[in-house]
Amino acid sequence: MTAADGIPRLATSQLDPGLQEILKPTIERLGYLGEFFSVAGHVPGGVQAFMQYTGAVKAPLSDRQNEVLALSVCTALGGDYERIQHERLSHRLGFGEAWIAAAEGRAGSEPSALAADERALRELALAMVARHGEQCGTEIRAVVAAIGHAKAVAALLQITRFVAIAMMCNALVLQLPVKSIFGEAPR
C-alpha cells in the first residue's frame, strides 16, 4: 500500500529477512507491524542501527525513566502514534493510569504520581522540546543530581531519539490500529 505521501508501506513479508528477524520481538509484543517500521523498512540497515541505538540508550535507565521521557516528549510534540504505543507499554508494565496521565501532563493529573527523578526527567524533556535544546542547564543539573551524569546523558540521548520519532511519525501522519488507553482514537 502506498500512502498519500508516496511512500509504500511494507508488509512484514516484504521486509528484508534479517530485518524481519530483528523486528520479530517488537511485532510479537505489539501484535502488529507498526507503520513506522513499514516505512522505515525501506532502509533496513538504518532500522538495524536504530534498534541497536535504542537498546544502548535505553539500557542505563529504568523502564519508568524511559517511559516518562517517551510520554513527555511525544505528548509535547503531538506525536500520538508513539505516545499511544508508550501508554500501552507503560500500562503493560503496570505503571497505572494515574502515573501515565502524570507523565503526559494530562489535565487533572497529579504530578506527585511521579517519583522525584521522573519529575526531573519530565521537566528536562519538556524544556528541551520547548526551547529546542537551548538554555536547559538548570534541568540537566537537576537530572544529574537525581540520577547521575551517565544516566543523564542516556536521558538526553533518549529525548532526542523520541523527538526524531515523533517528528517522523507526525510528518508522515502515521496511524495506529489501536486506541489510547484513555479511549481516544489517534488524530
pLDDT of residue 17: 96
Please name the residue that has the C-alpha cell 513506522: 36
The answer to whether the Cα torsion of 115, 124, 129, 175 is positive or negative is negative
Buried/exposed code over 47-73 (b: 16+ C-beta within 10 A; e: otherwise):
beebbeebeebbebbeebbbbbbbbbb
pLDDT of residue 42: 97
What's the pTM? 0.93
pLDDT of residue 4: 80
Cα–Cα distance list, 20 to 10, 37, 47, 78 (Å): 11, 10, 11, 29
3-class secondary structure, 128? helix
Sketch out the chain's domains with CATH numbers: 12-58 (1.20.5), 63-172 (1.20.1290)
pLDDT tens column, 138-165: 999 999 999 999 999 999 999 999 999 9
Average pLDDT over residues 70-76: 98
Instruction: Find the farthest-apart pair of alpha carbons in the chain and give their distance in angstroms, rounded.
Output: 49
pLDDT of residue 2: 67
Burial (0-12, 13-18, 19+ Cβ within 10 Å), 135: exposed
pLDDT tens column, 85-133: 999 999 999 999 999 999 999 999 999 999 999 999 999 999 999 999 9
pLDDT grade, residue 187 (50/70/90)?
low
CA dist., res. 145 & res. 21, Å (int): 40
For 10, phi then psi, to 5°, come to -90, 140
The average confidence (pLDDT) of the chain is 94
CA dist., res. 19 & res. 137, Å (int): 39
